Amino acid sequence: MATHYASFLCFIILLSSAAGEAIDGGFTVELIPRDSPKSPYYDPLETPYQRVSKAVHRSIMRLAGLGSNAPRDPSADITANHGNYLIKIGIGTPPEPIVGIADTGSDLIWTQCKPCHNCFRQVAPMFDPRKSITYTVVSYHSPKCKVFEDTSCSPQGSLCQYHALYRDHSYSKGYIATDTISLRSTLRSSIKFPETVFGCGYDNNGTFNVRTSGIVGLGGGDASLISQIGRSYGSKFSYCLLRYADPSSSKLNFGSNAHVSGQGTVSTPLIQKSPKTYYYLNLEGISINRRRFNSSSCSPRHVAGHGNIIIDSGTSLTSLPRDLYEQIESAVSTAVHLPRVQDPRGSLNLCYRSSGDLRDPPNITVHFTGADVKLNGYNTFVHIAPGVACFAFVPSTCDKVIYGNVAQMNFLIGYDIAGGRLSFKPANCSHH
Active site residues: 103, 312
Contacts of 45 (CB under 8 A, 6+ apart): none
Radius of gyration of the chain, Cα coordinates, nearest whole angstrom: 21
C-alpha 164/C-alpha 16 separation (Å) is 25
Q: Please, where are the H alpha helices in 221-344? A: 225-233, 322-335
Cβ–Cβ < 8 Å for 316, 58: yes
Q: In the chain, what's the furthest Cα-to-Cα distance? A: 68
Contact 391, 335 (CB under 8 A): no
CA dihedral 39, 412, 104, 73 (to 10 degrees): 90
How many angstroms separate the CA atoms of 415 and 304, rounded? 19
Concatenate the DSSP letters of all residues of 163-216 into one string: EEE-TTS-EEEEEEEEEEEEEE-TTS-EEEEEEEEEEEEEEEESS--TT--EEE
Q: Which residues pair with 388 in a beta bridge?
A: 353, 385
